[in-house]
């Protein structure tokens, strides 16, 4: 069972320059990775005997106003450790490789991020309308500056 | 005497039994009101309370109400839960599939007006009365099974007051 | 199981199931490609209950989010409150009083029992047995009474708050809860007497809808579905939160991963939850039930993913705070989301009636999928 430091060390040494350790508050094991190496990283995470991280909790998109951050939470049922993986893509026309062929559970998570944030997942087999109505024409609603039908911003509480 | 005591009747004893004279309208309305079969259709939280109302403690069956899985066999529809814009055409379709006369109870805040999703949800229909006619609005998030029963009693009262000549097919849009 | 091979006498056709089909437990729509009675391909369509809860949470303060979270997973509302509150408390490093933790565990486990009772009721209803439904809902009403006397609500409680719980339990809660815990273990025997060895039930569930260990893990199944496939993984033990490390309980697992195993795992879990409640009631300390919080709550900048073991598996909440009164982003993860995704993987080759049984045994509720 690998602990916090050894996971980070293993990953940064295996992918020098591509993966770097992240300090988050509150403390958690986290790395940031270049969008181009996401498939490489996940292949390693699943296949490495020390990590065996094949349980994908979720994929989140976050609109940071200048870029979109995609966060993967992946854990190992055998070693009982968890890893947060962060990557950045462009806000408009952002592209990232799909990891659906490595972990099938990513399929729907990626579809959701594609629909709500407009991030294109390359090689995803099934990017169709997902949560929104079939005739939806108002863009990607989870973007921070999205302003569409029926959405009233609440006043800020001081 | 049960149901007979509620009707305007003229009774005449004859050898071997009784002849009852009453109005057809009253008999039909009374029997319709006592056997409102509802469509088993719930979308969100209210559906759980609807299930509770049909189960052990609250026991809808004693109103003569029993769930039907097909809209073609149902008289009454509980719109139990949030209706999203994606779901709205389906609800309309379900309503149209029901045989006339048909009744609708908008159960819960979401079905009445959008409820907690009124101000800032882009996906929720703000009140089911925008797509289908509603007979009884039942607020609550979710309403208790007792209030659902009261709503049903209101529908029963409405049914009992209906006139026979009002039963034309396009009466309720 | 029959192989889905095209026969020379039949041609394939499409069947649309839902979104108002009674056995889809809500508003799931399945497009089934059929060959006779065998499914060739199943495609789920979701989003019929998409209410944009994640978007609304960005627009509300932390306290205002909790009622919305109740509607995210309404069968176990306590759990969906807990996961949000847990993430917020980790962000802001809020200390929770001991008594509040115990009250939370009691409510969470009661809610797990209530949820499994709904499962058992609707599952047997889908298989054509009405009696267990009436039995299960009878016991569930007693739990609802306990919740109602504590929080004032039957379904959407808004009870677990940041820094504790909203109210202390009333005086007559403890005797009623004890009475329930004592009688409930015999009630489970009653349900099992009707179902577990019933030949019709066995014929409908044994070796139906098998989910292998690999498929379960790859598709991120969790909770009873994962455990029925033989993976001993329970977040209460493997990633402890709250005070679950103080209680003794077993983690029931299945062997084959069929519908019957999933039923059995849930029944065993009800027994275990009952025992946890009994221990928590015995250990319940006196003291405060909430910490004093500032009127305007602003957690520091940071982000946190909290996950708990819900009745439907791993429920996660990822909160990002930018230091203001509103969360910058709330991501909700429900077990049902992944379990719905399992259907296209396991449905091919199945009979349509078996799909109904299998889907009921996954215990999917749709608001957790659509959010």
Task: Note the pLDDT tens digit of each residue in B29-77.
Answer: 888 888 888 887 788 888 888 888 888 888 888 888 888 888 888 888 8
What are B21's strand-pairing partners? B10
Taking the alpha carbons of B130, B135, B138, B139 in that order, is the dihedral positive or negative? positive
pLDDT band at A29; cut points 50, 70, 90:
confident
**Which CATH number do you get for residue A44?**
3.30.460.80
Question: What length is written for chain B?
Answer: 173
Are the beta carbons of A131 and C50 separated by less than 8 Å?
A: yes
Q: How far apart are alpha carbons B148 and C142 in whole angstroms? A: 19
- CB–CB of C336/C368 below 8 Å? yes
Strand B76-80 relative to strand B103-107, pairing:
parallel
Residue A63: inside a domain, yes or no?
A: yes
pLDDT band at B173; cut points 50, 70, 90:
very low
Q: How far apart are alpha carbons B49 and A1 in whole angstroms? A: 46
A157 to chain C, minimum CA–CA distance in Å? 7
Q: How far apart are alpha carbons C45 and A113 in whole angstroms? A: 16
Please report, for residues A11, A141, B58, C363, the alpha-carbon distance to residue A43 in angstroms, rounded to integers and kept in the order given: 12, 32, 55, 32
Number of domains in chain A: 1
- CB–CB of C172/C225 below 8 Å? no
Are the beta carbons of A82 and C239 separated by less than 8 Å?
A: yes
pLDDT at B83 over 80: yes
Q: What b/e readout covers A103-117, taking b as 16+ CB neighbours within 10 angstroms?
A: bbbbbbbbbbbbbbb
pLDDT, average across residues B9-22 = 85
pLDDT, average across residues C347-357 = 87
Strand B76-80 relative to strand A55-63, pairing:
unpaired
Residues 6+ apart with CB under 8 A from B117: B82, B110, B123, B124, C51, C52, C56
Task: Quote the strand ranges of chain A, DSSP E.
Answer: 19-21, 30-33, 55-63, 67-75, 82-90, 95-97, 120-122
Q: How far apart are alpha carbons B101 and C287 in whole angstroms? A: 59
B39 to chain A, minimum CA–CA distance in Å? 25
Residue A136: inside a domain, yes or no?
A: no
How many of the other CB atoms lie within 10 Å of CB of C242?
Answer: 17
pLDDT digits (tens, 9 = 90+) for B95-116: 888 887 889 999 888 888 888 8
Please report, for residues A38, A41, A116, A118, C97, the alpha-carbon distance to residue A34 in angstroms, rounded to integers and kept in the order given: 7, 10, 22, 19, 42
pLDDT band at C23; cut points 50, 70, 90:
low
| Domains recognised in chain C with CATH numbers | 61-340+353-359 (1.10.645.10)
Strand order in the sheet with A55-63: A19-21, A30-33, A82-90, A67-75, A55-63
pLDDT band at C265; cut points 50, 70, 90:
very high
Residue A8: inside a domain, yes or no?
A: yes
Residue A158: inside a domain, yes or no?
A: no
Residue A106: inside a domain, yes or no?
A: yes
- CB–CB of C331/C101 below 8 Å? no
Q: What DSSP string runs through C156-179? A: ----EETTEESSPPPTTHHHHHHH
Residue A43: inside a domain, yes or no?
A: yes
Q: Which of C317, C272, C287 is nearest to C83 (CA)?
A: C317
DSSP one-letter code for A157 = P
Using an 8 Å CB-CB cutoff, list residues of chain A that contact chain B. 131-134, 138, 141, 148-154
Residue A97: inside a domain, yes or no?
A: yes
Q: Which chain C residues touch B72 with a CB distance below 8 Å?
A: none
Q: Which two tokens stand for residue C329?
A: 């982003």
Q: Which of C79, C75, C61, C50 is nearest to C319 (CA)?
A: C61
- CB–CB of C72/C84 below 8 Å? no
The structure's pTM equals: 0.89
pLDDT on residue C181: 92
Q: Which of A106, A101, A66 is nearest to A85 (CA)?
A: A106
Residue A105: inside a domain, yes or no?
A: yes
- CB–CB of C53/C371 below 8 Å? yes
pLDDT band at C1; cut points 50, 70, 90:
very low
pLDDT, average across residues C116-129 = 88
Q: Which two tokens stand for residue C36?
A: 């006779």
Q: Provide ipTM, 2 decimals.
A: 0.88
pLDDT digits (tens, 9 = 90+) for C79-115: 999 999 999 998 888 888 989 999 999 999 999 999 9
pLDDT digits (tens, 9 = 90+) for A106-156: 889 998 899 888 888 888 888 888 888 888 888 888 888 887 777 777 777
- Averaged confidence pLDDT in chain C: 87
Q: Is C8 exposed, middle or buried (0-12, 13-18, 19+ CB in 10 A)?
A: exposed
Report chain A's C-alpha Rg in angstroms. Answer: 17
Q: Is B162 exposed, middle or buried (0-12, 13-18, 19+ CB in 10 A)?
A: middle
DSSP one-letter code for A3 = -
B20 near C CB under 8 A: no
- CB–CB of C338/C220 below 8 Å? yes
Strand order in the sheet with C13-17: C13-17, C29-35, C38-45
pLDDT at B167 over 80: no
pLDDT, average across residues C188-209 = 88
3-state secondary structure of B51: helix
Compare all CA atoms of chain B with the CA of A130 and give the residue at the minimum distance. B86
Q: Which two tokens stand for residue C331?
A: 């991501």
Torsion angles phi and psi, residue C68, rounded to 5: -65, -40
Q: Which chain C residues touch B87 with a CB distance below 8 Å?
A: 19, 27, 48-49
**A42, A101, A104: best to mutate for the C interface, most C CBs within 10 A:** A104
Compare all CA atoms of chain C with the CA of A82 and give the residue at the minimum distance. C239
Q: Phi-psi bin for C23: left (phi > 0), alpha (psi -120 to 50), beta?
A: alpha
Q: How far apart are alpha carbons C33 and C15 in whole angstroms? A: 6
CB-nearest to B116 from C50, C68, C370 is C68
Q: Which two tokens stand for residue C305?
A: 């993913």
Q: How far apart are alpha carbons C291 and C100 in whole angstroms? A: 9
Alpha carbons within 13 angstroms on the beta-carbon side of residue C45 total 17
Q: Which chain B residues touch C16 with a CB distance below 8 Å?
A: none
How many of the other CB atoms lie within 10 Å of CB of A101?
Answer: 15
In the block, residue with structure tokens 């139990």? B80
- Averaged confidence pLDDT in chain B: 84
Write out residues 93-122 of C within 8 Å (CB-CB) of A: 93
- A110 lies in which domain range? 4-122
Task: Quote the strand ranges of chain C, DSSP E.
Answer: 13-17, 29-35, 38-45, 160-161, 164-165, 302-310, 313-321, 327-333
**CB pairs < 8 Å spanning A and C:** 91
C310 to chain A, minimum CA–CA distance in Å? 14
pLDDT on residue A2: 61
Q: How far apart are alpha carbons C120 and C195 in whole angstroms? A: 10
**CB pairs < 8 Å spanning A and B:** 25
Are the beta carbons of B119 and A133 separated by less than 8 Å?
A: no
pLDDT digits (tens, 9 = 90+) for C303-341: 889 999 988 888 999 999 988 888 999 999 988 898 998
pLDDT digits (tens, 9 = 90+) for A59-102: 999 988 888 999 999 988 888 888 899 998 988 888 888 888 88
């Amino acid at each position: 069972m690998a602990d916090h430091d050894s996971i980070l060390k293993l990953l940064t040494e295996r992918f020098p320059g591509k993966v770097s350790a992240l300090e988050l508050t509150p403390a958690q094991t986290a790395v940031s990775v270049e969008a181009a190496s996401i498939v490489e990283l996940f292949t390693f995470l699943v296949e490495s005997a020390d990590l065996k991280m094949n349980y994908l909790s979720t994929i989140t998109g976050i609109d940071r106003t200048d870029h979109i951050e995609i966060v993967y939470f992946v854990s190992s049922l055998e070693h009982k450790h968890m890893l947060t993986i962060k990557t950045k893509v462009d806000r408009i026309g952002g592209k990232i490789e799909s990891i659906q062929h490595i972990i099938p559970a990513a399929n729907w998570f990626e579809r959701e991020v594609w629909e709500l944030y407009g991030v294109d997942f390359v090689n995803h087999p099934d990017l169709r309308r997902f949560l929104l109505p079939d005739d939806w024409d108002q863009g990607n609603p989870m973007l921070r500056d999205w302003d569409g039908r029926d959405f009233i911003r609440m006043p800020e509480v001081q | 005497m049960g149901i007979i005591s509620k009707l305007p009747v003229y009774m005449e004893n004859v050898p071997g039994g009784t002849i009852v004279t009453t109005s057809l309208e009253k008999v039909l309305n009374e029997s319709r009101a006592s056997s409102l079969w509802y469509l088993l259709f719930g979308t969100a939280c209210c559906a759980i309370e609807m299930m509770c109302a049909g189960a052990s403690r609250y026991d809808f069956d004693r109103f003569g109400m029993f769930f039907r899985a097909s809209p073609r066999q149902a008289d009454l529809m509980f719109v139990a839960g949030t209706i999203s814009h994606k779901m709205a055409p389906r609800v309309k379709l379900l309503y149209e599939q029901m045989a006339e006369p048909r009744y609708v109870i908008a159960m819960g805040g979401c079905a009445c007006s959008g409820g907690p999703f009124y101000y800032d949800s882009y996906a929720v229909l703000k009140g089911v009365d925008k797509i289908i006619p509603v007979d009884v609005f039942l607020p609550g998030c979710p309403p208790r099974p007792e209030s659902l029963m009261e709503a049903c009693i209101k529908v029963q009262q409405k049914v009992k007051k209906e006139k026979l000549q009002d039963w034309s097919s396009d009466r309720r849009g | 199981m029959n192989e889905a091979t095209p026969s020379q006498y039949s041609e394939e056709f499409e069947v649309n199931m839902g979104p108002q089909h009674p056995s889809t437990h809500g508003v799931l729509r399945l497009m089934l490609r059929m060959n006779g009675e065998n499914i060739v391909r199943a495609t789920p369509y979701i989003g019929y209950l998409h209410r944009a809860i994640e978007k609304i949470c960005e627009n509300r303060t932390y306290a205002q989010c909790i009622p919305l979270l109740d509607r995210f997973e309404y069968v176990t509302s306590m759990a969906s409150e807990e996961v949000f509150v847990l993430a917020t408390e980790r962000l802001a490093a809020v200390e929770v009083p001991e008594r509040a933790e115990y009250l939370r565990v009691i409510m969470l486990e009661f809610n797990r029992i209530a949820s499994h009772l709904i499962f058992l009721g609707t599952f047997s209803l889908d298989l054509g047995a009405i009696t267990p439904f009436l039995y299960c809902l009878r016991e569930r009403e007693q739990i609802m009474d306990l919740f109602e006397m504590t929080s004032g609500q039957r379904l959407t409680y808004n009870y677990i708050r940041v820094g504790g719980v909203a109210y202390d339990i009333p005086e007559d809660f403890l005797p009623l809860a004890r009475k329930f815990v004592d009688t409930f273990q015999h009630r489970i025997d009653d349900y099992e007497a009707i179902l577990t060895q019933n030949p019709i039930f066995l014929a409908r569930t044994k070796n139906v809808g098998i989910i292998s260990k690999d498929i379960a893990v790859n598709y991120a199944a969790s909770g009873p579905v994962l455990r029925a496939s033989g993976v001993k993984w329970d977040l209460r033990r493997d990633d402890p939160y709250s005070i679950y490390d103080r209680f003794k309980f077993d983690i029931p697992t299945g062997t084959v991963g069929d519908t019957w195993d999933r039923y059995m795992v849930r029944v065993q879990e009800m027994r275990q939850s009952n025992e946890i409640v009994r221990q928590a009631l015995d250990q319940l300390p006196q003291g405060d039930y909430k910490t004093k919080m500032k009127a305007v709550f602003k957690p520091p900048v940071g982000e946190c993913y909290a996950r708990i073991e819900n009745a439907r598996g791993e429920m996660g909440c990822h909160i990002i705070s930018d230091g203001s009164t509103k969360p910058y982003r709330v991501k909700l993860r429900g077990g049902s989301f992944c379990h719905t995704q399992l259907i296209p993987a396991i449905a091919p080759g199945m009979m349509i009636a078996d799909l109904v049984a299998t889907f009921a045994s996954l215990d999917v509720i749709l608001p957790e999928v659509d959010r």
